[in-house]
Structure formats: C-alpha cells, structure tokens
Amino acid sequence: MLALADPLFIDQYAGCFVPHNTLMDIERYPHHYCLATKFIDDKLLTMMNDMDGLKQVVLLTDGMDTRPYRLSWPTSTIMFDVSPAKVFTEAAHKLEDVGAKIPKSCLFLHVPLESSDIQQSLRSKGFNGNRSSIWALQGLPLMTLTCFEDILSVASSLAMKGCVFFGELPAWLAETEIGIKSWMDKLFMGNGFRVSLISYNELAKNVGREQAPGDCETILFVAEQLRFSDDEMETWRREFQRIEEAGDEEGFEEL
C-alpha cells in the first residue's frame, strides 16, 4: 500500500484486510472515502471529548471498522458496532492477529446487523437512551432505502434529544427527482432529525487537497436529534405519574 508523506489519517491496521501489493493512487486526489473517514474520525473524537461521564457511540459499519482500535477514545467510552456478523468475526480475528487492542478503559460490543430487532439488541447490550450518544455511519451495507429507514428509526428511538448522527450514505439511495437536499430533509425530519449536507469539495480545501475527479458516489451528512428518546419519554411519564399520585395523596389527606 502506498504511504503518503502527509496522510489525511493513519490506519495502522487496514493492511491486514488487503493484499500487501495493493497500491492506492491518492497522493494528489484523495478518494472521497478518505475525506469522509477523516471527517468522521475528527468529529467523533471532538464530540466524545466534550461529553462528560459515560460515553456511548454507535458505529454502523461493514464489520471491518478499525476505529475502535486506532482512535484515542476517552476513558469510559462504550462502543457498539452494528455490522454483518460473519464479516465482523473474520475481521476481529485478523485484527487480533496483528496485535490490535481496544483501550483498557473502554468497552467494545458487537450487534449483528442481521438481528431481528436491532433496537432491542442494543438495549440488551447495555445501551441507555437516557444518556448522550453519538451515531456514526460508514460502510454499513444498505441494500435498499428501507434498510436505512429502519436504521434511522432505531436511532430516532434511542438517541436523546440533541444527540448527533453523521456519516455517509450511498448516493443511489436518494430520490434525485426532488433534489438530494429536499429528499434528505424529508427523510430525516420524518424521524425527528434536522440534517445538513457536507461538501466534499469544502473538506478537500480544508485539508489542502484537491477533490477527486468524477462523480461522488456517497452523500456526507450531519443530523441532530430534535425529539426525546423513548427512554426520556418514559422517564418523564413516570415522573408525571409520580407527581400526580403525590398530589392525589395530599388531596386525600386534606379531606
């Protein structure tokens, strides 16, 4: 693999997934994937370092994501990787063979993409909808728009108000006849998220690189959760119920 004098990011473990003689011509024109990876890496760490206490991050991946091993995660970070089970298992063995390790102060848990109920699987692994979380999407195999809508629905139900969901989507998912931005707004707002599109050209300029030629096959986005999570709503419901019951008891005592 070709090494760059000034790489956008360093992935010391990616080599275990590809043949040793693989060359990547990205010195002048960084691939969109590289720009997106740097953007997601930087945003993950910036946001995680701004969070207090227990930190939850959901990584929606192809099963070969090296971020849990190569990024400097803050103490008390819990990472949930949602990805195809077979790919994840094979990748984990390869990463173990090259000495990749999760930081001792962090926890890494896998949720099979094939789960009949991903939301419940995340909960059973310890995800807490009353705590802040960050959701990052890159590489997750999305065969249809419905697949992504299901993932978006899970994030909408589990992520607290104010949480952020970002990453890249296959461009072919978009209904381009109404415009990508309009389509994204409708899709995300329908699940309680306000979404913004990120320009690959701007990312390239920000890191002093030229954009890769040709059409981009992915859409880079950042979305903010505007709704309360299901757990937050349940907490409020219980609190209101407690207040009502306390008020009833006070009224009974006055009688």
Q: What is the pLDDT of residues 48-58, one digit of tens each?
A: 988 887 799 99
| pLDDT of 49 | 86
Tell me the C-alpha to C-alpha distance, in Å, between residue 168 and each of 8, 33, 122, 133.
17, 9, 21, 18
Asked whether the beta carbons of 26 and 4 are under 8 A apart, the reply is yes
pLDDT of residue 241: 83
Q: What pLDDT does 2 receive? A: 44
Domains in the chain, start-ordered, CATH in brackets? 19-250 (3.40.50.150)
Q: What is the widest separation between alpha-carbon atoms in the chain?
A: 86
Give per-10-residue mean pLDDT for the chain (255 aa): 61 77 52 89 92 89 95 94 97 93 94 96 96 96 93 97 95 78 93 95 85 78 96 88 71 53
Rounded CA separation 82/112 (Å): 6
pLDDT at 236: 83
**Tokens (6 digits) for 113:** 């993409």
pLDDT given at position 23: 57
Which residues, in sequence order, are bridge partners of residue 165?
A: 135, 223
77 SS3 class: strand
Is the separation of the CB atoms in 78 and 107 below 8 Å? yes
Which residues, in sequence order, are CB contacts of 37 under 8 Å at separation 6+? 8, 9, 138
